[in-house]
Structure 1
Amino acid sequence: MKESEQLEKIKKNILAVDWSMDDTPYMGFSSDNIRGVRFAIEKILEGTGITIESLFLEREEKHWFES
């Protein structure tokens, strides 16, 4: 797998983690846990020039997660 493909896969995985937390309150994952995960994601992306917002835009542009 090329580096560009790896980076795109990582971006998709970050979005999938964020997206999967939509249902977690029904499974016992508290809002504090969700805030903690989102904080960790922000820290991971810090200094990369990538934000969760830019990932949302890229998802729309590239039609990720669409069947």
Structure 2
Amino acid sequence: MTGTPILARLRGSARTAWQIVRGVVGENAYERYLDHHRRNHSDEEPLTERAFWRRHVDRQDATPGSRCC
């Protein structure tokens, strides 16, 4: 079957593209926070996802900088 490698590559490309989009819109911010926390603050309990997003939104509201919305 010659179609299988092509489909596998398309799936891989789509997965990569989706991860890029998630990074651009900030959807993977909590995952990046957990990675950072694990590497640099392993002796402390990380924020829950809900607490992280609340703090993230509060910080954006307090210092909006230049953003479109």
TM-score (norm 1): 0.37
Larger Rg over CA atoms: 2
TM-score (norm 2): 0.36
* Larger relative contact order, structure 1 or 2 (CA cutoff 8 Å, min sep 6): 1
